[in-house]
Amino acid sequence: GGKACLAMNSPGVEGKRDDGHGTDGGRSTYLKWLPCFRPYRGENGKYYPLREVVSSAPFSTDEDLKHRHEYGSNFIRTTRYRWWNFLFKNLFEQFQKAANFYFLIMAIITSVPGVSTIPPYATITPLAFVLAVTAIKDGIDDYKRGRNDSEVNARRTEVLKPGGGTTALTWQDLQVGHVVKVFQDGIFPADLVLLASSTPNGECGIQTANLDGETNIKGRQAVKDTAKMTTEELASPGRLRVLCERPHTGKTFEGRLLIGAENDKSFPLNGDNILLRGAMLKETKFIYGLVIYTGSQTKVILHNDPPRFKRSHMDDIMNQQMYLIFLLQFCIVFTATVLSGWFFVNRGRNHWYLGIEDDSVSAGTTTALRNFFAFYVLLSVMVPISLYVSMELVRVGQAILINVDNRMWDPEDGKFAQARSTTLSEELGQIQYIFSDKTGTLTSNQMAFEKSSILGKLYGCNEVNAKLEAKASLFTAGGSPRRNADKEILLGEGGQTSIQNSRSVLNEQQVVSRGISEDHIEIDGDPRYCNMNDPQLRRALMDDYPGARDYVLALALCQTVQVSEIPDRPGKVQYQGESTDEVALVTMASMHGVRFLEKKRNEVTLWVPWIPDSGGNREGKRKGRMLGSAVVFKILHVLAFTSDRKRMSVLVLFPDGSIRVFTKGADNVMKNIAAKNKAVNSTNVLDKTESHLFQFSREGLRVMLVGQRHLDTKEYESWSTRYEEASHSFADAKGNRKDKMERIAAEIEQNLQILGVTAIEDKLQDGVPLTLKLLKRAGIKIWVLTGDKQNTAVNIGKSCGLIGWDYQLVYIRSKQPSECKEEMLATLEALEDSDSDEAALMVSGDSLKAALLPGNNGTLFDVMNHRKIKVVVASRMTPRQKREIVTLVKDRLGVVTLAIGDGANDVSMIRAAHIGVGIRGKEGMQAANSSDYAISKFRFLAQLLLVHGGLSYQRNSTLILYFFYKNVMMAVQQVYFIFVSGYSSGEVFDGYMLNTFNLCWTSLPILFFSVFDRPANVDELIEFPQLYFPGLRSEFFNFRTFWISFGEAVIHGSVVWLVVWWTMHDVFDSYWTSSVATYTSIVIVANIKMAMITTTWFWFNALIIILTVLVYFGYIFLHCGPIGFSFSPWLFGVINQVMLEPMFYLATLWLATCVVLQDFMVAYIQRLTNPSLQMLVQECRGDTIKKQNLKIALYESVPQKGIWMNERGKPTGQKVKEQKMKMLAT
């Protein structure tokens, strides 16, 4: 029945084209309701129609077959634009920004004749400049993408031709159905099903560094029947057919391979049979693969979706102020419009310069309407159009400083920190919550096997290791010397034999009588992965102590580690695994005699020390005393580890015909599937095991339980039949293939005998305790979200200083929704009644399932955000739960969040946070590639936040305030001019002056300031992490500071107006002379203001300000001088009158003095009455005693707790204030 169904389903399942919508291929619609025609449902629950791929279909003469494989070419295009739509599309995208659209409207208004007195170029030129700069940047980026696309599309690969031979095709000419040949170190040109390789078993190694950054070698396997086919058979049109799901972004792959024209044989396909585009062939001479997905339908292209756009909080605040400015601008314009209409009708004829001939109400109304738009254009200078471009340039400069910071360079990988986003630099200075992974983030992810417990007996404890040191010479004599080479063991030789009853083969009496001890076991391994070298365990293996052999065999067999010979080093092999945990487990077995030698298709070869050599062990003869023999175990099934299952199992056929299941996994999962029969798991052993498990986790070790189960042949055959059926299935009412296989896998993983516990040490990274201490003192809350056991996470938290030893530990353990809510409510009451001021919340992933339900998550949030909860440690977390926690805090509190991790399971959390930081680790580059900032070590986070974040926030705040300050000063002149000129729509400044003000005379100084200014140096920012507080409270840029700066600009602008237009009214004999004098005064005042806010002077800061002023006077002499270069005839010779008038110099000096004195007075009063910490730190420079007094004020005023902070985040405590005053007085 299955074969018939497949035969019916094969032709035309998908229709002629794979356009993403699917067709029924001309069949009757009722067929789609048959089980074999139902669409495939992916792991995300979505349904995908099936796809049929026929080998060598593009070469077929069957037109129907060729048409059914028109799935699209392998040509890729990652560019955003085409040459013919670049201008239109780019402009459309840029005008999505509110500011650009605003100035576009202003430009249109100025272009309407008779509406505005400002020439069109005055508004069009700055807008065009901003648009052009952005378009050039976008165009260059897109050109680079297009050039890379062309290089990739032009690559060539070999394709098998029907009948034999190959032909070379470019990648862009590949089609679905082609059978390609890829050589070693070649990159796969499309998504392929592995058919055969240079190895007899059809195996190959691949490296996915181009996809996820992982450099370890992963194994892939061809179906055994195709692995033996000749090239003519592989390339025969229609001989091979693949039925699989349509292209989708899911990480899994499910399909079937049908062999023969009548679909005689069917084999399941999964991710182990797929070679993804972009991966590289390694350790295999060549492979043959069938193209199933091409071009934009390959996994790597489908996963290239742009990340979620992130915008900083500063941008949001700035946009809010912009709306208020628009409202203010409208109020001014509306008021001036109404008054202009009234003035036109009642007093207009008395003012000749208005040119009024008809002062009727209708004429006044018309003029007022025209003036409405004219006033809007005149006051548009209030909004600095160049601010957005300047912010982008400054952020790029700040990102470059991050990329070249020597303090964030890691000597191990030779890499600097990387700013992958250039729009969030100031956000780094406002982080309030950090969500951190543990393994590989706080710890080094350098796993080393530390201790074990086998059926209640401890191995690897300190006293055992102490005895081991005395036998170091024997250990090295028994095998090869301990060495530091990467993942090496010595590959032994010998024959293969079967395993008999171990006690009958070699018992204790035989060992003693033959003069052989545990030191005769050949052991070797990379000591970086195993700190445990226990002679008692080796003796237990030789004596067949209960459970010891089964335990070590489980570690050596239940793994996915790859073993390969090291090039140019014969006889030596290296272990590589997707997880360093597995490498540590295999190394532990190797260092105690059970060495992993070789892995073939479904076979694993181990060197087993307690099996006597059958005579072929040349190595044993050579050394004279080594025991053991190579034994081949057949791996029947591998039940892979997933984050949902939290365990891995292998079904192993022993040489004597017995079958066993070996399982390893998280303790909370393994306890549920352990046998309840006391004959299998005695209460005494389980109690000891539980005690050891608790002891290991208290020491901060990563723990895992190991179990086994013996199967009889009938039980295995019944289970295997159902498992194979599930592996061939597609989606139906019972679920998809993955669900079915996991359900059936769970049936065999029951009634396990618990063999023992593995304890792996994952040491803290260097500098983690200090980094956490600095971040906590900076006022940042830190939560740890990990997949480890709760006790392990808690003790790691204590060892790194995240959890104080005097903290009250609060637990949420309930797994039922109603009980969980009651427990959380009780926890809130307990926290209120507690005498402790600081507490840490502990919650597990199982409890979070109940706590995160809609009716409970609010209570959970109240507990997590309680004032006494300083740290939250969430254990046994899934990636989804990590994301939900981050989202909950972010949405409920409205705080700025940062998530940091190093693995693929941290990607969703990193993307959910405001700032995502990825650590380049041993788990690959997926976290780093999904992040906004990538670093190599956790300790660099302090430098990233406290230094770059804190400085960028303060600099960018000043940048925004300064831009509005200088533009508002300009706008004030126009407002006054409107009201004193009879509400005319005349401009106070020439159009060229307006254009050059922002672009030339006030831009460079603030740009250099925003990149290089340092109100506190790097050492001070680390030494006094409390300098980060202003960012937490948005002190430098908020509603208050913005409008204070706005008011200051209004005052300074008013002073300029009064001095130039009123006190010098009789001095200058023309309106344009006063205009140039005013403009020059504003340029000078703006640059003096820039000098006043600069806190760190470099030689180029002073040079740029001086050159800006000097170049300005050169420009103004050309533009308004007697030489005649001006495009504005009315300005001819004006500068002569200005520069020859002594009153101008006196007025300018007086204006500069006002600005300087005001800033000095404000700073002086603040330092005297309420100095900021930044001011205090500046006062301490070069004075060790003052600096020590300040540290006392900050740290010792509150015993051992750092600074207390109230709900608004401000330091409290009278003693702190007294210390400040005392230090200032001294």
Catalytic residue IDs: 437
Q: How many Cα atoms are found within 13 Å in the side-chain-facing hemisphere of 434? A: 29
Q: Does the annotation list 737 as a binding residue?
A: no
Q: Report phi then psi at 209, rounded to 5.
A: -60, -35
- Under 8 Å between Cβ of 924 and 941: no
Alpha carbon distances (Å) from 1118 to 277, 1113, 1139: 62, 9, 13
Q: Residue 919 pairs with which residues in a beta bridge?
A: 935
Transcribe 529-568 into DSSP letters: GB----HHHHHHHHHT-TTHHHHHHHHHHS---EEEEPTT
One-letter amino acid at 219 equals G
| Residue 439 is assigned to a ligand binding site | yes
438 in a labelled binding site: yes
Amino acid symbol at 531: N
The DSSP annotation for 843-856 comes to EEHHHHHHHTSTTT
Q: Is 882 annotated as a binding residue?
A: yes
Find out whether 437 is annotated in a ligand binding site: yes
Cα angle, residue 345 at apex, residues 343 and 348 outer, rounded to 5°:
60
786 is in an annotated binding site: yes
* Contacts with 731 (C-beta within 8 Å, 6 or more apart), sequence order: 38, 39, 40, 41, 47, 737
Question: CA–CA separation, 157 vs 171, rounded Å?
Answer: 7
CA 232, 235, 241, 244 dihedral sign is positive
Alpha-helical runs (H) found in 425-547: 462-470, 472-478, 502-505, 508-513, 535-543
Asked if residue 1037 belongs to a known ligand binding site, the reply is no
Any known ligand binding at 702?
yes
Cα–Cα distances in angstroms (integers) from residue 926 to residues 51, 212, 446, 923, in the given order: 29, 5, 18, 8
CB-based contacts of 244, cutoff 8 Å, min separation 6: 50, 51, 53, 253, 254, 255, 256, 269, 292
Known binder of ligand: residue 1019?
no
- β-bridge partners, 541: none
Coil, helix or strand at residue 646: coil
Give the burial string for 836-865 (b: 16+ CB within 10 Å, else e).
eebbbbbbbbebbebbbeeebbebbbebbb
In the beta sheet, which residues pair with residue 869? 839
CA atoms of 749 and 651, how far apart (whole Å): 10
Q: Are 970 and 459 contacting, i.e. CB atoms less than 8 angstroms apart?
A: no
Asked whether the beta carbons of 371 and 983 are under 8 A apart, the reply is: yes
* E-only strand ranges, 610-701: 629-639, 647-653, 659-665
Instruction: Decide the pairing of beta strands 897-901 and 869-875.
Output: unpaired
Rounded to whole angstroms, what are the CA distances from 1093 to 653, 1071, 1106? 77, 33, 16
Query: What phi and psi, each to the nearest 5 degrees, are found at residue 21?
Result: -110, -30
Q: Which of 483, 518, 506, 492 is nearest to 595 (CA)?
A: 492
Please say whether the beta carbons of 329 and 322 come within 8 A: no
> In 10 A of CB 413, how many CB atoms?
11
Residue 905 assigned to a binding site: yes
The region, left, alpha or beta by phi > 0 then psi within -120 to 50, assigned to residue 279 is beta
Is 156 labeled as ligand-binding? no
Residue 533 near residue 468 (C-beta atoms within 8 A): yes
Name every residue whose Cβ is closer than 8 Å to that of residue 341 and which is 6 or more positions away in sequence. Answer: 364, 365, 367, 368, 371
Q: For residue 144, count other CB atoms closer than 10 A to its CB.
A: 11
> How large is the C-alpha radius of gyration of the chain?
38
Question: Residues forming the annotated binding site?
Answer: 437-439, 582, 641, 664, 702, 786-788, 876, 882, 902, 905-906
Question: Residues forming the annotated binding site for ATP?
Answer: 437-439, 582, 641, 664, 702, 786-788, 876, 882, 905-906
